[in-house]
Amino acid sequence: MKVQIEVGAIHSRISGSYPRYQIDKALSAYREGYFFSKAFKKKRWDGKKHFLTMTGRFPTGLLPRVKYILKKSKTAYEVVGRSNGLRGVVPVESLPDGTVMRDYQIDAQVAFLRRGRGVWEHATGSGKTESAIALCKALNVQTMVLVRGLDLMTQTRKRFRRRLKEPIGVLGGGKRPQGHERVVIASVDTLSASLRRKLIQPVLKQTQLLIFDETHHAAATTWQKIATICPARYRLGMSGTAFTGRKERDMSLEAVTGPRIHRVTSTELIKRGILAKPTLTFVKIDEDKPNWDMSSWAQAYQDLIVKNKTRNTAIAMQCKSWYKEGHRRILVLVRSIKHGELLKRAIILPTVYLHGSHDLAHRQRFLKKFRRGEFPVLIASTIFDEGIDIPEIDALVLASGGKSRIKTIQRLGRGLRKKATIDGTGGQLPVLEFVDYGNQYLLRHSLSRLYDYRTEKGFKVKSIRAEDIIG
């Protein structure tokens, strides 16, 4: 029986005499922590998540994997149903507000128009949002953009409205689209909690292009729930760090968006002068007095990062030094509210601290003041880890520690936007980081971040002792 693939917007189905074992193997991945499961230990479960069902159904995002196995096994097949290609649609080279697309932004559109779904893995500061706006303009269909958090929702709406010069709807923060907008920016949390409401159903059903901003979150349950209910035919994921190498997570992401179809690295953008070149200074903390007896990372984090006087003093002194050198917009990123409070007291310069407990209007108001240079130091919690655009930063302190590669690169990306220079290059961005020797967990995390930075060829990395800053 001839193999046939029936393609749908969310799921597809394969039938006929196809190599089931090979396709199932290609569409399965070990679940994280599977070896702790009693079912696995008793051999009642193989420890894997299988994306291919017994009836031949699988997520449409994994269709390229299925086609690859069929071609490899020399199995003839035909595809019926929806074709995701967009023949006749041409990429947009400039937006209604006059913004001209760079060559890689046009190439990214072409890659999407060829397939109809996939992931753009573009470095922070590459202009992913403008690329997505151009794609919306090119397709001219009902579009929903999924974002994380109200700050990012508000910022994204402003960008779309300014670039497209048309009304943009929002879904989140108590606001709903009016029904006439072609593009809706939706908060994932709000949409996920409202999926069964009658007012939301028409918005989802009308969506033809679904865009996942910061798509590395798309493997999470809330994002997956939206992706498997929304019938959008075209799907785009965007992130600077979409795929992590964790097979189950990456395959879950690919299942709803499709594979990576275009990539732009920060190294490429630094070479072209589009991004600033970061100079990372790692400060060695507690090098001579390691404390290996702490039983948990949480305890070590509180005692040796949040409450570490040497570390916090080094941050305060570096901010003062940068200010004397002429840096007027210094961003300090922290993880816990307590840490931000301690640093605000330690830094002698005019400083504002913003975190998730502040309402959106408060955060937006002081962010505008920071952009205008009304105060030199902004301390921000994890709400600014990703997405929030502050191109005016001219110095950055990464005070929060941690080991996540995604968060590491996203945090650094807050300051890599191009700096004005006479020679036309992207300029320099001084960054303060830390090697925390005081505990095995913290040291392991520090070395993990150091490795991530050194894999980026455009980054300059050096290390100093805390005493070199404090004196």
- Asked, for residue 95, whether it belongs to a domain, the answer is no
Indicate if the pLDDT at residue 77 is higher than 90: yes
Residues 315 and 229 in one domain: no
Boundary of a domain, candidates 215, 243, 264: 264
Query: pTM value?
Result: 0.84
Q: What tens digit of pLDDT does each residue of 146-201 get? A: 998 888 899 899 999 999 999 999 999 888 888 889 999 999 988 888 877 777 88
Indicate if the pLDDT at residue 414 is higher than 80: no
Indicate if the pLDDT at residue 421 is higher than 50: no
DSSP assignment of 325-387 equals TT---EEEE-SSHHHHHHHHHH--S-EEEE-TTS-HHHHHHHHHHHHTTSSSEEEE-GGGSSS
- Which structural domain range is residue 188 located in? 103-264
Neighbours of 273 (CB within 10 A): 15
- Contact between residue 306 and residue 339 where contact means Cβ atoms under 8 Å apart: yes
Query: Which two structure tokens, joined as six digits, stand for 305?
Result: 């990062």
Q: How far is CA 269 from CA 41, 126, 394, in A?
A: 48, 7, 18
- Asked, for residue 332, whether it belongs to a domain, the answer is yes
DSSP assignment of 198-262 equals TTTHHHHHH--EEEEETGGGTTSHHHHHHHTT---SEEEEEESS---S-HHHHHHHHHHH-SEEE
Residues 39 and 117 in one domain: no
> Which value, in Å, is the radius of gyration of the alpha carbons in the chain?
24
- What are the backbone dihedrals phi and psi of residue 445, each rounded to the nearest 5 degrees, phi first? -65, -40
Residues 228 and 305 in one domain: no
**Number of domains into which the chain is organized:** 3
Boundary of a domain, candidates 264, 289, 317: 264
List all residues 6 or more positions away from 272 whose beta carbon is below 8 Å from its beta carbon: 426
- Asked, for residue 436, whether it belongs to a domain, the answer is yes
Q: What tens digit of pLDDT does each residue of 423-464 get? A: 444 478 899 999 998 888 899 899 988 888 888 777 889 999
* 120 phi-psi bin (left φ>0, alpha ψ -120 to 50, beta other): beta
- Asked, for residue 290, whether it belongs to a domain, the answer is yes
* Mean pLDDT of the residues in the chain: 88
Residues 456 and 314 in one domain: yes
Residues 382 and 442 in one domain: yes
The predicted pLDDT at position 84 comes to 59
Give the rounded distance of the alpha carbon of 5 from its chain centre: 32
CATH number for the domain that contains residue 129: 3.40.50.300
The predicted pLDDT at position 420 comes to 43
Helix (H) or strand (E) holding 298: helix 297-301
- Asked, for residue 56, whether it belongs to a domain, the answer is yes
pLDDT, average across residues 414-424: 50
The better pLDDT of the pair 67, 416 is held by 67
Boundary of a domain, candidates 13, 48, 81: 81
- Asked, for residue 317, whether it belongs to a domain, the answer is yes
Residues 50 and 124 in one domain: no
- Contact between residue 280 and residue 414 where contact means Cβ atoms under 8 Å apart: no
Q: What tens digit of pLDDT does each residue of 87-130 get? A: 889 999 999 999 999 999 999 999 999 999 999 999 888 899 99
Residues 77 and 120 in one domain: no
The predicted pLDDT at position 290 comes to 63
Instruction: Work out the pLDDT band at 256, boundaries 50, 70, 90.
Output: very high
Cα torsion angle, 137, 138, 143, 145, sign = negative
Indicate if the pLDDT at residue 399 is higher than 60: yes
The predicted pLDDT at position 389 comes to 63
Q: Which of 3-17, 221-235, 307-321, 396-410 has the lowest mean pLDDT?
A: 396-410
Instruction: Work out the pLDDT band at 284, boundaries 50, 70, 90.
Output: very high
Residues 208 and 328 in one domain: no
Instruction: Work out the pLDDT band at 394, boundaries 50, 70, 90.
Output: confident
The predicted pLDDT at position 451 comes to 87
Residues 414 and 303 in one domain: yes
